[in-house]
Amino acid sequence: MRNIIKSIILSAFLILQASATIQKIDCVPLQDTNRILCNPDKGWYHHYYDNCLEKYLGDDKDIEKIPNLHHLFLRFAWSFLEPEEGKFNWALIDQQVEKWSAKGVKISLSITAQETGEPYATPKWVVDAGAKGGFYNPYGSHKVFEPEFDDPIFLQKLENLQKAIAKRYDGKDFIATITIASIGNWGEGHVFFTSKKKVPVEVIKKHIDIYAKYFKKSQIVIGDDYLAANHTPEEILDLREYVKAHKISYRDDSILVKWTYFHNPKRLSFLNPEYFADAAEYAPTTLELEHYAATLKSGTWKGANGVEHGADVLRKVVEMSQCTYLGYHGYAKDYLRDNPDFLNEMANKLGYWFFIDEIVFDPTAGILEVTWNNRGAARAYEPYRVYFKIKQRGANFEKVVRIKEANPREFLSGITRQTYGVDFKDVPSGEYEISVCMKKKSKQSTIIELGFKEDLRDKDGFYKLGTVRL
């Protein structure tokens, strides 16, 4: 009996001793939810060359003021880029690349084959070569050419175009996305303002195949109307699977559009959330707002920062779509003047927004348990790495450990708790400051800002979270 009692006492002592080594750090008081984090691979975008070569150019100084500006969305007609067969006006793109890539702003390309304001978005030389199509009068003032999107001549010329664009730009660091824009009004996959014809599923697949054949590295994006416009549920499901198979992401060009919003307000002008749920598993998603001036006129955006109407709707849509890139679709000067607080709010909310709520450290067992909190609308899609650093107080000893098991792409919106093994066997006993850092695996080894107070970060990007004893 005496031995049993001794064994129980010893076991209790060992348990108490082990539990005494477990140390918790509450990181919530260290957080800063107001500071704008300038992080890569997420944020606002500015429409540039919006269907024509004059719209929304504005002043570069105003565009630069957009918080966490990720890219310029260059959308313009094929005929502007290739005015003669095989002769390309690359300056339309290269001038913007040269100007903005040095500032950390990327370029997204959307080269359209049909516009409502341009008679020949598909170049006239393609029509002269025999590509079939017809002329339509979208606004009662002028006619525009709509190609037959499965015409063999049109498809061959289109393939030559995408081959040339891909040869020059595919996989370049300054390219954000490539949008499939070869079908429909403004490249959005529908012809509501011209022929109103249904584009067959097999034709859409042919266009997807052309882009997928040549863009092997850059992220391809498709508008949700390519699937939704006039197709049956079975056809839509078929196309959804085809898009997923090619790892193509989605953009929605209808957010806060007057008819789309007021026709069925309960749907918040976001009609196809299931498509975005598909893509969010593997790629960042994109939202395009209605032209800003049009939202003010229609009332889908009211008041400074959309406080009277619009902002609450958009917050919900950003969450539902797991949005990473959001375009305000107007002049930067106007949007900055009217919506500075909302711009700042979304600069953080779009994409990932990482915090740590708590750290539980057991040096005896070599275990580090971290409670991550992603307050952003989406996960991260690039390879980020997590590092912890311990630095002895009153001495020069420090050690940096990369936590290989930590994969930020697994940190979905909300709480993620993960346990990591750490080896501190070679660390002298003492009191240590513990810090955390996240970096993007790249040539520049970009620091990923975390949601902590700025004064906690050292010159190497590590945030001091507290002290532990070893």
Q: Which domains does the chain have, with CATH numbers?
A: 20-34+353-469 (2.60.40), 43-349 (3.20.20.80)
| Identity of the residue numbered 26 | D
Spatial contact of 114 and 158, defined as CB atoms under 8 Å apart: no
Query: What's the Cα-to-Cα distance from 66 to each of 328, 347, 352, 420, rounded to whole Å?
Result: 10, 9, 18, 38
Per-residue confidence band for 396, with pLDDT thresholds at 50, 70 and 90: confident
pLDDT at 426: 82
- CA–CA separation, 122 vs 111, rounded Å? 10
Spatial contact of 80 and 14, defined as CB atoms under 8 Å apart: no
Which tens digits make up the pLDDT trace of 85-100? Answer: 999 999 999 999 999 9
- Show the tokens assigned to 352: 């990932």
The pLDDT of 118-145, averaged and rounded, is 95
Query: What's the Cα-to-Cα distance from 47 to each of 56, 69, 71, 109, 125, rounded to whole Å?
Result: 7, 11, 9, 11, 28
- CA–CA separation, 153 vs 235, rounded Å? 26
pLDDT at 13: 34
pLDDT at 187: 97
Which tens digits make up the pLDDT trace of 181-217? Answer: 999 999 999 999 999 999 999 999 999 999 999 999 9
Spatial contact of 431 and 465, defined as CB atoms under 8 Å apart: no
pLDDT at 243: 98
Q: Is the pLDDT of residue 320 over 50?
A: yes
pLDDT at 6: 39
- Show the tokens assigned to 241: 């699977």
The pLDDT of 395-411, averaged and rounded, is 93
Spatial contact of 309 and 279, defined as CB atoms under 8 Å apart: no
Q: Is the pLDDT of residue 422 over 50?
A: yes
- CA–CA separation, 361 vs 24, rounded Å? 6
pLDDT at 51: 87
Q: Is the pLDDT of residue 7 over 50?
A: no
The pLDDT of 106-122, averaged and rounded, is 97
Spatial contact of 339 and 347, defined as CB atoms under 8 Å apart: no
10 Å CB burial of residue 14 (0-12, 13-18, 19+) is: exposed
Per-residue confidence band for 148, with pLDDT thresholds at 50, 70 and 90: very high
| Identity of the residue numbered 78 | W
pLDDT at 441: 82
- Show the tokens assigned to 250: 């989605």
The pLDDT of 308-331, averaged and rounded, is 98
Which tens digits make up the pLDDT trace of 443-470? Answer: 678 999 999 999 999 999 999 999 999 8
DSSP 108: E
pLDDT at 16: 34
Which tens digits make up the pLDDT trace of 45-59? Answer: 999 999 899 999 999
Instruction: Please choose, from the candidates 385, 461, 376, 384, the residue with its C-alpha nearest in 3D space to the C-alpha of residue 68.
Output: 376
Percent of the chain with pLDDT over 90: 89
pLDDT at 5: 38
The pLDDT of 109-134, averaged and rounded, is 97
- Show the tokens assigned to 41: 């691979």
Per-residue confidence band for 9, with pLDDT thresholds at 50, 70 and 90: very low
E-strand ranges in 384-452 read 384-392, 398-402, 414-421, 431-440, 447-448
Instruction: Tell which phi-psi region holds residue 455, choosing left (phi > 0), alpha (psi between -120 and 50) or beta.
Output: alpha
10 Å CB burial of residue 470 (0-12, 13-18, 19+) is: middle
- Show the tokens assigned to 340: 């500075």
* CA 149 to chain centroid: 29
pLDDT at 158: 98
- Show the tokens assigned to 146: 């709509």
- Show the tokens assigned to 14: 């060992």
Grouping H, G, I as helix, E, B as strand and the rest as coil, residue 329 is coil
> Which pairing describes strands 367-374 and 354-362: parallel, antiparallel, or unpaired?
antiparallel
pLDDT at 14: 35
Q: Is the pLDDT of residue 8 over 80?
A: no
Any idea which residue has 């750490």 for tokens?
422
Per-residue confidence band for 11, with pLDDT thresholds at 50, 70 and 90: very low
Which residues, at least 6 apart from 146, have a Cβ–Cβ distance to it below 8 Å?
A: 114, 133, 134, 135, 136, 191, 194, 195
Q: Is the pLDDT of residue 241 over 90?
A: yes
* DSSP bridge pairs for 385: 439
Instruction: Please choose, from the candidates 158, 224, 230, the residue with its C-alpha nearest in 3D space to the C-alpha of residue 197.
Output: 230
pLDDT at 442: 72
Grouping H, G, I as helix, E, B as strand and the rest as coil, residue 365 is coil
- Show the tokens assigned to 334: 């106007």
> Would you mind telling me the total number of residues written for the chain in this entry?
470
pLDDT at 15: 37
Which tens digits make up the pLDDT trace of 247-289? Answer: 999 999 999 999 999 999 999 999 999 999 999 999 999 999 9
Any idea which residue has 């800003």 for tokens?
292
Query: What's the Cα-to-Cα distance from 141 to each of 51, 124, 137, 228, 263, rounded to whole Å?
Result: 18, 20, 7, 29, 27
pLDDT at 10: 36
